[in-house]
Amino acid sequence: MTQRPRRLRSNAHIRALARQTRLSASALVYPLFVRDGGGVREPIPSMEGQRRYSADTLCEAAERAMERGVNKFLLFGVPDYKDEAGSGAYAKDGAVQRGVRALKARFGGDIYVITDVCMCEYTSHGHCGILRAGAVDNDATLECLARAAVSQAEAGADMVAPSDMMDGRVGFIRRALDSAGFADTLIMAYSAKYASAFYGPFREAAGSAPAFGDRKSYQMDWHNRKEAAKEILLDIAEGADIVMVKPAISYLDVISDAARISNVPVAAYSVSGEYAMIKAAAGQGLIDEHKIICETAVSIFRAGAEILISYYAPEIAGAIASGEIG
C-alpha cells in the first residue's frame, strides 16, 4: 500500500473537505470598551483600529460588527469616576450597565451581551480587588464582584465574565445571581488567566494599570501548565458554564489541555498584546495582516478552543464568510 499524504492536498476541493478544524462566526466574541457620556468614538492609541464608545455610539459599533457576522460582544467599562473601593463597578448607571441597556433596547434578541466582572477598571489603585494593608483581600473582593455581576444582569447582560482571579468567585457570583432571580444568567470564567505582559495595551485602553506592584499574587505564573487544569476544574465545580484560557497564542498547550479535561465549552481570549503585535508588524510591512489573522485564529481553534474572543472578530468572520478559513 502506497502512503501518499499529498493526495489530500491536490486541489482546493479536497483540501476543503479534508480540513480538520472548522470555524464558524457563531463562535466569535468581539470585545468593546464603553465610556460614560455620549457621542464618544475615541481611538485607542495602543490598539490601532479599536475605539472607546459611549452607550449610544456602542450601538453603531455593534451594528457594524453584526453586518460582518459577529453578534456576541464582551463589554469592558472605562469609567470617569474611580475610588478605592471600585464602587463604579456596580453603579446602576455605570458605563457598562448603560451600554448593555442600549444594546438590548436596540437589538433585543439578535445580540448576545457578555460583561466583564472585575474591579481594576473601577479602583483608583488599578488592582482587581479591594486592598487591605496594601494587598488584595480575596473575600472582601467577592462581595463587590457579586454586586457588579448582579447589577449587570439587572441591566440585561446574558452572561457575566469574572476576570479577576479571586478564589471562589464563580461559586460566590453564581449564588448571588441565583438569589437575585438571575438563575439563567451564565458565567464565563477566566479560569486560566496568566500574569501576562500581553495585557499591556488593554491596560492603557481601560486605564486599569496597577498604580503599584503587579498582578502576580492573583494571576497565574506562566511557568505553570498543570495549575491551569486545577483552576479550570475548580471553576467548573463552582458552576462555570464556560471556562477560558487567556492569553491565547502563547498558551496553545494550555488550551489543548483545557479541551481534554473540560466538560463545558472552552473559550480562548486573544488579548490586546496579540492584536497590537500583529498591527505593529503589519504597519511596518513585515507581515501580511490578513493572513496572520487567519493563521492565528485557526491555530487557536486547532488547539481545542470552541470559542474565540478577539479584537479581530469582524475580520475573522469575513475570512470565514469568504471560505478562506473554516
Contacts with ligand PBG by CB under 6 A lie at 116, 118, 120, 128, 163-164, 199, 202-203, 215, 271-272
Closest to ligand PBG by CB, 78 vs 298, is 78
CB 192, CB 250: distance < 8 Å: no
Beta-carbon contacts of 24 under 8 Å, excluding residues fewer than 6 positions away, are 320, 326
Closest to ligand PBG by CB, 36 vs 116, is 116
Active-site annotation holds for 104: no
Q: How far apart are CA 128 and CA 142, in angstroms?
A: 11
Q: Which amino acid is at 180?
A: A
Closest to ligand PBG by CB, 54 vs 115, is 115
Give one DSSP letter per residue of 66-89, joined into a string.
HHTT--EEEEEEE-S--BTT-GGG
Q: Single out the catalytic residue among 72, 82, 216, 246.
A: 246
Give the SS3 label for residue 93: coil
Take residue 75 and report the three cell numbers written for it. 463589554
The CB-of-110 to ligand PBG minimum distance in angstroms stands at 25
Prior bond to 247 cis, omega within 30?
A: yes
Take residue 171 and report the three cell numbers written for it. 461559586
The CB-of-57 to ligand PBG minimum distance in angstroms stands at 20
Closest to ligand PBG by CB, 186 vs 271, is 271
The CB-of-280 to ligand PBG minimum distance in angstroms stands at 15
Which residue is closest to ligand PBG by CB?
202
Please identify every residue annotated as catalytic: 193, 246
